[in-house]
Amino acid sequence: MKKILIVLIVLFANTFLYARQDNRIIRVETDKLGMVFLVREDGIVNYQYFGDKISSDLSVYSARQKNPLLGECPEPGLFPAYGERNVFEPALRLVHADGVLTTGLIYVSDKTVKIDGNISETVIRLKDRIYPISVDIHFKAYKKENIICQHSEIFNEGEKEIAVEKMASAYVPLHSQSCYLTHFSGAWAAEMQLYEEKLTPGIKKIESKKGIRTTQSESPSFLLSLNGPANENYGEVYAGSLAWSGNYQLSFELDECEVLHILGGMNPFASTWHLAQGESVSTPEMVLTYSPAGIGQISRNYHDWCRKYSLQHGDQIRPIVLNSWEGAYFSFNEETITEMIDNAAEMGVEMFVLDDGWFGNKYPRNSDKAGLGDWQPNTTKLPRGINYLAKYAVDKGLKFGIWIEPEMVSPDSELAKKHPEWIVKSGDREILKIRNQWMLDLSNPEVQDFVVKTFDNVMALSPYISYIKWDANRHVTNVGSEYLSADRQTHFWIAYIKGLYSAYGRIRAKYPETMIQLCSSGGGRLDFGALRYHDEFWPSDNTNPLNRVFIQYGTNLFFPAIATASHVSTSPNHQTGMNTPLKFRFDVAMSGRLGMELQPKDIVGNDRVFATKAIETYKKIRPLIQFGDLYRLISPYQEGGWSSLMYVNKDKSQAVFFAYSIRFHERTKFFECRLNGLDPAKKYKVTELNTVATRKYLWINNKIFSGEELIKKGLELDIKACFDSAVLLLTEI
């Protein structure tokens, strides 16, 4: 009886309180985007709109809830919890202390704070009608970049523990006659392959249960095009990318009212999070954007935002790297490395990175079978240690970087013997190996300390180390933690990634200048969650330029060229066995952050001359590539067998254009492409770059065209043969 009375009082108080909200409208806005929410009289907050910013009054929205036509199609809420009238996938699902499974959220308050001239943050606080929990929905709006980052946080204000079974970062409802989802899938050496499909009624889910890698199979980044497949330059497109390196779930549920309910966040799979009295838990950010004019603008929004807010040193030019992996693998000694450095220096390379294989003594790292965890230089291979090599590189005018994989341990290592309690394991079950290695349990603060210490110790090997390649070559299997208590085992997934981010954060605070590359067997961990602590990422172990055209196409839809390590390797390619011309390999690699991944002494004769010149050329054009706006001109997924892209600087006075012939073209076929992205009012002189002695300059070399002609009529180029390519510099005259 007493309980019923309390419930009635709470309901009455809520009704009284929210009646005064009087259809309050809450707007979250950037220069071009707008989100609109409506606080209804009964306290429910409706999600009214997300899209092109509406500058006028929004009275129509507050009247909408009274529209009788909508009777069958309830207005979507701001953050639909499981309970009350919600029958769709919930954004929030809780088990309250008394076992009640439902939640009913109503408005408490909202506040918008200006963080600086470009960023403002709106927090809408909701609470359960009855139970003592609150939920804050955060929106960080980046004005100029037109990005809105959304996340949520839940507070247990009661005395007893509750269980959070699911909590999304963001919910977005869209109403459209048809929705086309672009998502990504792949595998090792085939990351970010693009799939586009028309959504049909029901639920499409994209998710990962691999724990610590997000992008080698599926990806937490997506595009959503309304009323037709996504186009580069027109059509309404929404995009989201979850800034999280752990398990995630995206769901797209199309209902009978043609409303698409989009949810994204951490994967609820086996992840119950217990919240004790006074505790709270927050979700990662979903990075959202929208374009009324195609996916080109979506990418440019992400790139601008990423360079400024989600990448280390996003305003600094990246050096040209030689990485030792494909040139030496595990078989090297001092001489191998110094010879590589000599050759790299001769060719104009600016950074040498010593990859895997340099450490371990009792269990030397001479293959992937041993040594992970024992981060001491191998004295047989490198008797004078790392400092000798690092100084050697610096004396030759190069910077020096080194590879680590601090989250992992080999069964054959001193670390595994010393700290078996640090290894991820499922009780007494066999600890399964992947690439012959086990994982350390980063939910354990001691292991986080070890990871930070590993970084410290490696940095202490030489004052000349200025770059770290951070690798992670496996995912979670047979999950479990000796550190977490029996009733907290489901916390592992979230606790690991929060532990990893805490370690990254401590490292970043201590080494703000060090460049760090994000790598996970190639592009296994490519998400904005991890990227914000890094300077760049390794998109794939596949260095074959043909495959890279596709991998980088998908990757660069979200992530900018400045961070896309793109290395020229040898031919035939080690992953695919494919033969390609050196020019094609450079032309593809130069569309990202150029590097090399080979034995440089093997580049001889004309190839050596070409490579040295191409490196010199890249130094001149890299500001365009690394800071410019990306315009994709021809997608490799189109039928023609060409691919083309262009980077244009912000004032459109210079551009660099890339074109690739990715299959054989019959004599009757020719390359033609419109150069959207230039200024129609300007005139541009075209200069062909990366020319080879065996081919004449293309006819457009040294010619002048109006921007308008290049945009409307475009360029025809004689690049027909398989793996023919062209790089053009366009300069305003």
Contact 368, 431 (CB under 8 A): no
- CA-to-CA separations, 575 to 189, 422, 518, 572, 665, in angstroms, rounded: 8, 34, 20, 9, 25
- Rounded to an integer, what distance in angstroms lies between the CA atom of residue 297 and that of residue 141? 17
Scanning 371-379, 439-447, 515-523, 693-701 for contacts with ligand DGJ by CB under 6 A, the matching segment is 515-523
Task: Give me the least distance between CB of 597 and ligand DGJ, in Å please.
Answer: 8
- CA 551 distance to own-chain centroid: 13
3-state secondary structure of 206: strand
Site for ligand DGJ contains 473 (CB under 6 A): yes
Measured distance between the N- and C-terminal CA atoms of the chain, rounded to whole angstroms: 84
Nearest to 252 by CA among 267, 242, 244, 262: 262
Q: How many residues belong to the site for ligand DGJ (CB under 6 A)?
A: 11
Greatest alpha-carbon span in the chain = 92
Phi, psi of 713 (to 5 degrees): -90, -40
- Per CB under 6 A, the list member of 89, 541, 679, 724 interacting with ligand DGJ is 541
- Per CB under 6 A, the list member of 285, 350, 355, 374 interacting with ligand DGJ is 355
Task: Give me the least distance between CB of 364 and ligand DGJ, in Å please.
Answer: 14
Task: Give me the least distance between CB of 333 and ligand DGJ, in Å please.
Answer: 18
Site for ligand DGJ contains 481 (CB under 6 A): no
Tokens at 390, concatenated: 């690092």
- Rounded to an integer, what distance in angstroms lies between the CA atom of residue 219 and that of residue 235? 23
Site for ligand DGJ contains 537 (CB under 6 A): no
The residues, any chain, with a CB within 8 Å of residue 331's CB and separated by 6 or more, are: 357, 366
Query: Which string of x and - marks every residue 607-626 that binds ligand DGJ (by CB under 6 A)?
Result: --------------------
Q: Of the two residues 90 and 523, which places its CB atom closer to ligand DGJ in the complex?
A: 523
Alpha-carbon Rg for the chain, nearest whole angstrom, is 27
Task: Give me the least distance between CB of 365 and ligand DGJ, in Å please.
Answer: 9
3-state secondary structure of 44: coil
Q: Of the two residues 131 and 403, which places its CB atom closer to ligand DGJ in the complex?
A: 403
Query: Which string of x and - marks every residue 297-336 that binds ligand DGJ (by CB under 6 A)?
Result: ----------------------------x-----------
Task: Give me the least distance between CB of 575 and ligand DGJ, in Å please.
Answer: 11
Contact 152, 136 (CB under 8 A): yes
Task: Give me the least distance between CB of 367 and ligand DGJ, in Å please.
Answer: 10
- Is 527 an active-site residue? no
Active-site residue, from 128, 541, 587, 629 = 541
- Per CB under 6 A, the list member of 314, 360, 522, 595 interacting with ligand DGJ is 522
- Per CB under 6 A, the list member of 408, 519, 603, 726 interacting with ligand DGJ is 519
- Residue at 482: amino acid letter: E
- Residue at 403: amino acid letter: W
Nearest to 360 by CA among 389, 387, 327, 382: 382
Dihedral (CA of 356, 358, 360, 366) sign = positive
Strands 179-187 and 33-39, by their bridges, are unpaired
Q: Of the two residues 416 and 727, which places its CB atom closer to ligand DGJ in the complex?
A: 416
Site for ligand DGJ contains 643 (CB under 6 A): no
Q: Of the two residues 29 and 471, which places its CB atom closer to ligand DGJ in the complex?
A: 471
- CA-to-CA separations, 282 to 32, 291, 575, in angstroms, rounded: 28, 28, 41
For residue 201, cis peptide bond before it (omega within 30 degrees of 0): no
- The helices-and-strands tally (H runs, E runs) of the chain is 14, 37
Q: Of the two residues 74 and 539, which places its CB atom closer to ligand DGJ in the complex?
A: 539
Q: For the beta carbon of residue 666, count every other beta carbon within 10 angstroms.
A: 7
Site for ligand DGJ contains 471 (CB under 6 A): yes
Rama region for 322: left / alpha / beta (φ>0; ψ in -120 to 50; rest): beta
Q: Of the two residues 371 and 636, which places its CB atom closer to ligand DGJ in the complex?
A: 371
Q: Of the two residues 318 and 491, which places its CB atom closer to ligand DGJ in the complex?
A: 318
Task: Give me the least distance between CB of 485 and ligand DGJ, in Å please.
Answer: 34
Scanning 426-434, 518-526, 627-635, 698-706 for contacts with ligand DGJ by CB under 6 A, the matching segment is 518-526
- Per CB under 6 A, the list member of 302, 358, 492, 538 interacting with ligand DGJ is 538
- Rounded to an integer, what distance in angstroms lies between the CA atom of residue 88 and that of residue 70? 17
Q: Of the two residues 404 and 686, which places its CB atom closer to ligand DGJ in the complex?
A: 404
3-state secondary structure of 488: helix
Q: Of the two residues 401 and 628, which places its CB atom closer to ligand DGJ in the complex?
A: 401
Q: Of the two residues 275 and 351, which places its CB atom closer to ligand DGJ in the complex?
A: 351
- CA 463 distance to own-chain centroid: 31
Rama region for 235: left / alpha / beta (φ>0; ψ in -120 to 50; rest): left
Contact 377, 461 (CB under 8 A): yes
Which 8-state DSSP code applies to residue 455? H
Scanning 120-128, 227-235, 516-524, 614-622 for contacts with ligand DGJ by CB under 6 A, the matching segment is 516-524
Query: Which string of x and - marks every residue 15-34 that binds ligand DGJ (by CB under 6 A)?
Result: --------------------
Residues 388-407 that bind ligand DGJ (CB under 6 A): 403
3-state secondary structure of 620: helix
Tell me the residue ranges of DSSP E strands in 129-175.
133-142, 147-156, 162-175
Query: Which string of x and - marks every residue 420-459 that binds ligand DGJ (by CB under 6 A)?
Result: ----------------------------------------
Dihedral (CA of 372, 376, 381, 382) sign = positive
Which 8-state DSSP code applies to residue 422? G
Scanning 387-395, 485-493, 514-522, 569-577 for contacts with ligand DGJ by CB under 6 A, the matching segment is 514-522
- Rounded to an integer, what distance in angstroms lies between the CA atom of residue 125 and that of residue 136? 4
Nearest to 352 by CA among 328, 323, 391, 311: 323
Strands 237-242 and 221-226, by their bridges, are antiparallel
Task: Give me the least distance between CB of 323 and ligand DGJ, in Å please.
Answer: 7
Task: Give me the least distance between CB of 537 and ligand DGJ, in Å please.
Answer: 10
Site for ligand DGJ contains 358 (CB under 6 A): no
Q: In the complex, which residue's CB is closest to ligand DGJ?
A: 356
Q: Of the two residues 135 and 402, which places its CB atom closer to ligand DGJ in the complex?
A: 402
Q: Of the two residues 541 and 679, which places its CB atom closer to ligand DGJ in the complex?
A: 541
Query: Which string of x and - marks every residue 101-130 that binds ligand DGJ (by CB under 6 A)?
Result: ------------------------------
Active-site residue, from 471, 535, 629, 679 = 471
- Per CB under 6 A, the list member of 136, 236, 356, 724 interacting with ligand DGJ is 356
Site for ligand DGJ contains 76 (CB under 6 A): no
- Is 487 an active-site residue? no
Task: Give me the least distance between CB of 516 and ligand DGJ, in Å please.
Answer: 14
Percent of residues in the chain assigned helix, strand, coil, to nearest 5: 25, 35, 40
Scanning 244-252, 345-353, 517-525, 581-589 for contacts with ligand DGJ by CB under 6 A, the matching segment is 517-525
- Rounded to an integer, what distance in angstroms lies between the CA atom of residue 453 and that of residue 448? 9
Q: Of the two residues 152 and 543, which places its CB atom closer to ligand DGJ in the complex?
A: 543
Task: Give me the least distance between CB of 534 and ligand DGJ, in Å please.
Answer: 14
Active-site residue set: 471, 541
Interface residues with ligand DGJ (CB under 6 A)? 325, 355-356, 403, 471, 473, 519, 521-522, 538, 541
